[in-house]
Structure 1
Amino acid sequence: MARVQRVSFSDGESDTYTVVGADHLPIGPAAAYLRFLRDGGASPHTVRAYCAGLAEWFTVLEHTGHAWDDFPTTLFGQFLRYLRTGDLPGAARIGAPTQKLAASSLQPRAAAVLSMYRYHADAHGTDVPYGRLFTSRGSWRRYRRYVGFLDGVGPARRGDHPIYRMRTPNRSATPVLTPAQVNTILDGCSTQTDEGGWSGGPAGVRNRLLFAVLAETGMRLGEALSLRHHDFHIGAGATPFIEIVDRQDHPHGVRVKTGSRRVYVGDDLEALYSEYVWQLVAMAADVTVPDLATHFVFVNLVRGPRFSPMRVETVYEKVRGIKGAHPQLPVDWSPHWLRHTHATALLLAGVPEHVVMRRLGHADVQTTLSTYGWVTQDAEMRSLAHWKNYVAGWKGLADGRP
């Protein structure tokens, strides 16, 4: 069975990922394509996402005994069924099939496989498997291309489209959390005690600060994990804000996807950050770390090298813990839902779309409208209690500042 394998380097280069087979060695065609992605500037987490789909595909090839460059067209249909149900081709099932992947997760994994074969056809002339997966019959305008990343590589193939069409499910609304659910997530990390302290110790305060930053600023997780202490501008008597800087140097591969921007925050977040810094100082972070002001904000405090930058996996481990402790939360919520919730709350509070665009770091207002335009049209959503109170502390918004 093929699987995704993390690859670490001793020279400080960011970790990356590859796909290994049953012999625990990298699978050549997949490794070549993944190297192409890395050379093109893809982040380690993008590479890992592609690896997931490729590993599933090579598992099907291994199970059926087909070569990667010689298989029947019908095998890709069986691969899609395997993604949906977890049933390998030819496997007998007792009882009703289960759902392995949702449609939203199935599409990008299938797209990774198609993109790999497109790359090999364009770069290496491997046309036989390409011809098994793509066809030029019919009008190409009726189909949406899977991945535009490979456009312009090799000969033009405008008339080709996948034989098996993958439809992204229509979603009229992005997933959001109610204010009560956001508070449940924050309190699941740490709460203030009657004596003025915080439960959960320094790690609990760190986790609460991380989710609070995501909820109150609309940052992507990678942007939050890339923050340094000198990015927090507080305690100067003016409106506190966080500077999001375009960085690509996180040791675990997280990146800031858009350019630099300034995001204003409220007094509660300022106070929570101050508490977290005091907890770090109590743990001697100011002595252990050569320059705490330029160091990462979110660091290991319990496991792993102390004060080293947090991994994305550590955040999702905490997410799983909160889900287990609070089953009333949506079962599939993720840190990115806090970004959707932030944008939704702002729009429901009447903040202009161009301000929301700048705050989220979108390239243009059309991206914001395409993703969240449903909010201003959905009167029923306005019945959710406390939306305006939820954003009342976000200073610098009414006058058009991001």
Structure 2
Amino acid sequence: MADTQRVTVAIGPPTWTVVDQRYTIVEPVEVFLEFLRQSDYSHNTVKSYARALALWWSFLEGRDGSWQQVHLRDFGSFMQAVRAGTVGVGVTALPEVTAVSDATVAVRMRAVMSFYRFHAANGVEVAAALYEKVRAPGSAYLPFLEHIARREGRTVSRLRLRTTRSETPILLPSQITGLMEHEAVWDPSTATWLGDLRYRLFWAFLAETGARLGETLSVRHCDWVTSRGGTPFVRLTPTDNHPHHHRLKTGARKVFISTRLDRLYGEFVWALCEAGAESRIPDWDNGYVFVNTLREPLYAPLRSESVYAHLRSLKRRGLDLPQRMTPHWFRHTHATALLLADVPLHVVSRRLGHRDVQTTINTYGHVTEDAELASLANWQDFTRGWVSSAELAP
């Protein structure tokens, strides 16, 4: 049975490859994964694609099939196998032995089809047979560069996968406030913060900026530009030297923040200095904002695994948080709040750091759509002033 193998390299983050049942690297898959690495895909994306292709290779090994001798019906059987967690009666089970959602099936299939699209572009005929050239019929609407598409046609997959859109999860304001107050509260009698001020700042930053987890953990003190008569902001800048390999998924951007969040950052920096962090951090400007403060190694950059472990401990303590909640829910909540406040879609897209506004539409388009439809609930208010032609007749 094929499986993923973690590979440690001398320079850069770890990566993953796929080995077959004889523990030999699967060369066609490795060629594709190397293309992803050279194209600057994140190591998490490479890992996700490797897992999907390991499932696909296990499926082929269970049927004694060749990756170059596949048909559309094989992909249908694979999707059903991934969805159910088994290949079929009398055949070895896939590593994912529990039933999964349609969204997970779509993620797995997207990786497999990208694998074949890559080999199709490199002249593998069986892969090319999975795609076809189509020409759009004539219509009044002409998209950008339609003149090229009409002449050469569009390359589309012969495989269609339809999934039901799940509702984007969000947090209630009371849940966010309760979480931050559980972490740390201001004690006016002693004029100090009681609790873990670091995590209060962390959750507040996620809620107010909509930044991804890796982006947040990559923020350095030099990236935080405090208010000097203007609006404070944080620079989210790409970096390849984070010790835990956190990075920006998209390009650099500037995120403006409130004076309240800026003040909380100042309080946290003051608390760090009082604890002696300034003398233990050799390069303060390039030091990371979110660091270890309670355990060794002190003031080392915080790991994403530590954030998830802390969140799990909060749920076990009975805090009013959904059990499925992840730090990414803050991002969904931030985007939803902006759209409901009628912030233009392209502005929300730039703030979130999406490469394309279509990504924002695909993820959060239902928010504005639901709000517009909800505004029609009192439809009688719109028709109250209507009159019939008989009433207008003299």
Coarse TM-score class (shorter-chain normalised): 0.7 to 0.9
Distance 1:322 1:80 in 2: 36
Could you tell me whether the CA contact under 8 Å between 1:43 and 1:254 is conserved in 2?
no
1:273-312 Cα shifts (integer Å, max 9, x gaps):
2343344435543233320211222234567754443443
The amino acid across from 1:127 in the alignment is E
| Counterpart-to-counterpart distance in 2, 1:294 and 1:18 | 33
Quote the residue 1:118 is aligned against: 117
The residue type equivalent to 1:198 in the other structure is L
**What residue number does 1:234 align with?**
226
Q: Does 1:161 align with 2:193?
A: no
> Structure 1 residue aligned with 2:289, among 292, 297, 308?
297
The aligned length equals 355
Residue 18 (str. 1) matches residue 12 (str. 2): no
Q: Which residue does the alignment assign to 2:193?
A: 197
Whole-angstrom CA distance in 1 between matches of 2:295 and 2:24: 30
Query: 1:297 and 1:36 mapped to 2: Cα distance?
Result: 34
Q: Is the 8 A contact 1:45 1:254 kept in 2?
A: no
1:377-388 mapped onto 2 (5 Å cutoff): 377-379=369-371
Q: CA deviation at 1:334?
A: 2.6
Asked if residue 178 in structure 1 is aligned to residue 176 in structure 2, the reply is: no
Q: CA deviation at 1:373?
A: 4.3
Counterparts of 1:27-66 in structure 2 under 5 Å? 27-66=26-65
- Structure 1 residue 317 displacement after superposition: 3.4
The change in CA–CA distance for 1:114 and 1:378 in structure 2 (over 3 A counts) is closer
Structure 2 residue aligned with 1:9: 9
Any idea what SS the aligned residue of 2:184 has?
Answer: coil
| Partners of 1:61 and 1:67 within 8 A in 2 | yes
Residue 151 of structure 1: aligned partner:
none
**Residue equivalent to 2:339:** 347
Aligned partner letter, 2:202: L
Equivalent-residue separation in structure 2 for 1:91 and 1:323 (angstroms) = 41
**What is the CA–CA distance in structure 2 between the aligned matches of 1:355 and 1:157, rounded to whole Å?**
33
Give percent identity, aligned residues only: 40
In 2, Cα distance between equivalents of 1:264 and 1:73 = 49
Query: Where does residue 106 of structure 2 map in the other structure?
Result: 107
Give the direction of change, closer, same or farther, for the CA distance of 1:62–1:180 in structure 2 (3 Å limit): farther
Mapped partners of 1:372, 1:285: distance in 2: 41
Aligned twin of 2:143: none
Any stretches of 5+ residues in structure 2 without a counterpart?
Answer: 138-151, 376-394
Q: 1: CA distance between counterparts of 2:293 and 2:43?
A: 24
Shift of the alpha carbon at 1:215? 0.8
CA distance in 1, matches of 2:208, 2:59: 43
- Write the distance in 2 (CA, Å) between the matches of 1:127 and 1:365: 34
Structure 1 pair 193/306, CA: closer, same or farther in 2 (3 Å)? Answer: same
Q: Is the Cα contact below 8 Å between 1:69 and 1:128 reproduced in 2?
A: yes
**TM-fit CA distance, 1:375:** 3.3
Within 2, Cα distance between the matches of 1:197 and 1:290?
26
CA drift at 1:54: 1.2
1:166 partner letter: L
Shift of 1:48: 1.6
Q: Shift of the alpha carbon at 1:187?
A: 4.6
Q: 1:304 to 1:41 in 2, by over 3 A?
A: farther
Cross-structure match for 1:398:
none
Of the three residues 367, 379, 388, the one matched with 1:375 is: 367
How is 1:252-401 mapped onto 2 (pairs within 5 angstroms)? 252-282=244-274, 284-301=276-293, 305-326=297-318, 329-353=321-345, 355-362=347-354, 368=360, 371-379=363-371
- C-alpha distance in structure 2 between counterparts of 1:91 and 1:208, whole Å: 53
CA-atom RMSD in angstroms: 3.7
Comparing 17-26 and 54-63, the one that deviates more: 17-26
Measured after TM superposition, the shift of residue 32 of structure 1 is 1.3
Q: What code does the residue aligned with 2:208 have?
A: E
SS in 1 for 2:246: coil
Q: Report 1:65-144 matches (<5 A).
A: 65-70=64-69, 73-90=72-89, 100-123=99-122, 125-128=123-126, 131=129, 134=130, 136=132
How far apart are the structure 1 equivalents of 2:328 and 2:303?
16
Shift of the 354–70 alpha-carbon distance from structure 1 to 2, 3 Å rule, reads closer
Residues in 2 aligned to 1:20 and 1:35: alpha-carbon distance in whole angstroms:
14
Aligned mates of 1:284, 1:25 — CA distance in 2: 51
Question: Normalising by the residue count of structure 2, what TM-score does the alignment of the two structures yield?
Answer: 0.74
Distance 2:58 2:373 in 1: 44
Question: Secondary structure in 2 aligned to 1:299?
Answer: coil
Could you state the TM-score of these two structures normalised by the residue count of structure 1?
0.73
Unmatched 5+ residue regions in structure 1?
143-155, 384-402
Per chain length, whose mean CA-contact separation is higher, i.e. which structure has more relative contact order (CA < 8 Å, sep 6+)? 1
Q: CA deviation at 1:363?
A: 5.5
Between Structure 1 and Structure 2, whose CA radius of gyration is higher? 2
Deviation at 1:237, TM superposition (A): 5.3
Aligned to 1:391: none
